Structure 1
């Protein structure tokens, strides 16, 4: 493994690991706040216990996310010094603001965890909301920085120099809103389905059913609403990418030749040597509509883009297919869930629906990871789109492969530790209602 591939692999591993914990940190506090609010309004002790159980999970994920996020910030400087030398003064503002949001989140989480029976009950609830809002803001600010890499703004690039820097314009670049919207909905979808799926599994095993049913309903509503909105966000993102990064869109759809109208490919095996796709289902004109809102519009293919600026087509295409495929499945589950609610059917009787949620536990995060592969790999060979190539930004320091192996071991260890802590946390959920009493409450 050469140093360039090792540096990219280490960054990919770090981002792939951190993104899960950052998304949970963005979303779980809102579940916690809803449960806390229900306890304050109904005085049902079950909601209080649920809030406390979730808050311990939030603390575990926050600590792990803080460690992995700190490692990422160091990696940016160590692995990509030339990139940070030029880009730091331009897109540094969202990173500095993200640091502020992180500290607010940490302080608010401390107040919440240790504020039981010590703070005013509504102020205590408010601190939990601050954890969620600051975590969400932190995620949006990081995405704004990444969006700048996809849509550089806030400077003039003259003779290799970055002049007339405007950090505000750089932060609010043309890609930040679409990326932030898509990312936030993806975070709520993935985390919501994962949390709902875990509680659905406990219901199926008949463990503390009333407790887990309350938790399931809160997480499932968040997840299903986000999953229903995600296709709208995806449509906005696709049209934006078609305008700004036609090479990425062409790689997503493995569109080697410019077509008018252009078909949408479902599946297919990419042959990058022959520049062809076999075995795909083609929907005539659908890509034209997706990209430009017109079934007869022309979509630029890779044949109109210099070959040395082509992204890796196979990886980008497969990742895009995984993301869309999983998103479609989660959309189906969401529609089924809301249909069940409208029919006022008991969830306990719909064991097949609970099994679908269990199946979906990892799916949201797989789609999330695939989406980031599309974003990052689809931008290649650029680290700053159209301005700086990734290869030109890597550190000249040798031995990056060893660093990659060490970081892989660290992240694997952290994964095992977090899994153990969460498993123990779930096992410690107290039995507050016996089976007979809980069955009287089992209504959807």
Structure 2
């Protein structure tokens, strides 16, 4: 493995690991706040127990997310020094504000975890809400920085120099809203289905049914509403990409030739050399409508883009198909759940089993979506301005660093899984006591 590939792989590994915890950190505090609110309004002890159990999970994910996020910050400077030298002063503002949001989140979480019985109940609840708002804000700010890489703004590039820097314009670039919206909804869907699926599994095992049923309903509602909204966000994002990054859209759809009434490709195996897609289902005019809202519109293909600037078609296409396919699966499950909720049949075992199957789907879709975002931008690290190969560090030995980080992340993932498993077992043991429902500490 050469150093350039190793640097890209290490960054991909770090980001792929961190994004799971950042999504959970953005969303779980809102679940926690809803449960806490229900306890304050109903005084039902089961909601307090759900809240406290979830708060321990939030603390675990916050700690791991903070560590992995810090590693990513260092990697930007160590692996991509040329990029940071030129880009840092331009898009540094959202990173600085993200640090502030993280600081607020950490303080609010500390207040929340140690505030039980020490603060006014409603003030205590507010600190939990602040954890959620600051976490979501932190995620949006990071996405704004990534969006700048896809849609550079806030400077003039003249003779290799970055002049007339405007950090506000850089932060609120043309891509930030569509990416932030799509990522935020995806985080709610992914986390919601994962949490709901775990509680559904416990219900199927007939363990602490009342506890898990209450938790399941909160998480499932968040997940289903997000999954229903996600296709609308995806449509907005696709139209935005079609305007700003036609090469990425062409790679997503393996669209090799510019044409009107372009077909929407479902599945298939791209053959970049022959410039065709084998074994695909094609919907005539579908891509034209997806990209421009007109079945007869012309869609730019890879034939209009120099080959040196083509993204890796196969990886981008497969990742896009996985993201969309899983998104549709979660949408279908959401509609089934809302129908069951309307019919008051949410305790059906087949429905719960579907939620168990859906535990990993949202996060797989998130990883696939970020693959589309990052791989589809190649060969650029700053779209149209700086190539990724020109930004990598000249230092040798990056491959060894990649192997080391892989081992660390695998170990850390194992520790997190063990801690969460232990946390779930603790809850189950508490409720299995013959005295009945206890307050969870």
**For the residues of structure 1 that align with 2:274 and 2:130, how far apart are their CA atoms?**
53
Unaligned runs of 5+ in 2: none
**For the residues of structure 1 that align with 2:315 and 2:360, how far apart are their CA atoms?**
20
Q: 1:269: Cα distance to partner?
A: 0.6
Residue 137 of structure 1 aligns with which residue?
Answer: 137
Residue 294 of structure 1 aligns with which residue?
Answer: 294
Q: 1:274: Cα distance to partner?
A: 1.9
Residue 386 of structure 1 aligns with which residue?
Answer: 384
Residue 186 of structure 2 aligns with which residue?
Answer: 186
Q: 1:21: Cα distance to partner?
A: 0.1
Residue 76 of structure 2 aligns with which residue?
Answer: 76
Residue 422 of structure 2 aligns with which residue?
Answer: 424
**Paired residue secondary structure (1:131):** helix
**Paired residue secondary structure (2:282):** strand
**For the residues of structure 2 that align with 1:33 and 1:98, how far apart are their CA atoms?**
22
**For the residues of structure 2 that align with 1:53 and 1:343, how far apart are their CA atoms?**
30
Matched, 1:403 2:401: yes
Matched, 1:251 2:251: yes
Matched, 1:157 2:157: yes
**For the residues of structure 1 that align with 2:152 and 2:139, how far apart are their CA atoms?**
19
Q: 1:178: Cα distance to partner?
A: 0.1
Matched, 1:40 2:40: yes
**For the residues of structure 2 that align with 1:315 and 1:133, how far apart are their CA atoms?**
34
**For the residues of structure 2 that align with 1:123 and 1:191, how far apart are their CA atoms?**
26
Q: Deviations over 1:26-45 (max 9, x none)?
A: 00000000000000000001
**For the residues of structure 2 that align with 1:295 and 1:220, how far apart are their CA atoms?**
36
Q: 1:141: Cα distance to partner?
A: 0.1
**For the residues of structure 1 that align with 2:193 and 2:154, how far apart are their CA atoms?**
38
* Count of residue correspondences: 435
Q: Contact 1:46/1:432 (CA < 8 Å) preserved in 2?
A: no
Matched, 1:20 2:13: no
**For the residues of structure 2 that align with 1:256 and 1:208, how far apart are their CA atoms?**
55
Q: 1:434: Cα distance to partner?
A: 8.6
Q: Deviations over 1:382-413 (max 9, x none)?
A: 00000000000000000000000010011001
Residue 66 of structure 1 aligns with which residue?
Answer: 66
Residue 441 of structure 1 aligns with which residue?
Answer: none
Q: How does 1:238-277 map to 2 (within 5 A)?
A: 238-277=238-277
Q: Deviations over 1:240-289 (max 9, x none)?
A: 00000000000000001111110000000111222221000000101000
Residue 368 of structure 1 aligns with which residue?
Answer: 366
**Paired residue secondary structure (1:116):** coil
Q: Contact 1:29/1:129 (CA < 8 Å) preserved in 2?
A: yes
**Paired residue secondary structure (2:296):** coil
Residue 326 of structure 1 aligns with which residue?
Answer: 326
**Paired residue secondary structure (1:266):** strand
**For the residues of structure 2 that align with 1:69 and 1:340, how far apart are their CA atoms?**
39
Matched, 1:89 2:64: no
Q: 1:307: Cα distance to partner?
A: 0.4
Q: Deviations over 1:5-63 (max 9, x none)?
A: 00000000000000000000000000000000000000001000100000000000000
Unaligned runs of 5+ in 1: 439-444
**For the residues of structure 2 that align with 1:267 and 1:239, how far apart are their CA atoms?**
20
**For the residues of structure 1 that align with 2:339 and 2:318, how far apart are their CA atoms?**
32
**For the residues of structure 1 that align with 2:411 and 2:74, how far apart are their CA atoms?**
19
The list of structure 1 runs, each at least 4 consecutive aligned residues, that deviate by more than 6 angstroms after superposition, is none
TM-score relative to the length of structure 1: 0.97
**For the residues of structure 2 that align with 1:182 and 1:48, how far apart are their CA atoms?**
32
Matched, 1:104 2:104: yes
Q: Deviations over 1:336-357 (max 9, x none)?
A: 0001111122x22x11010010
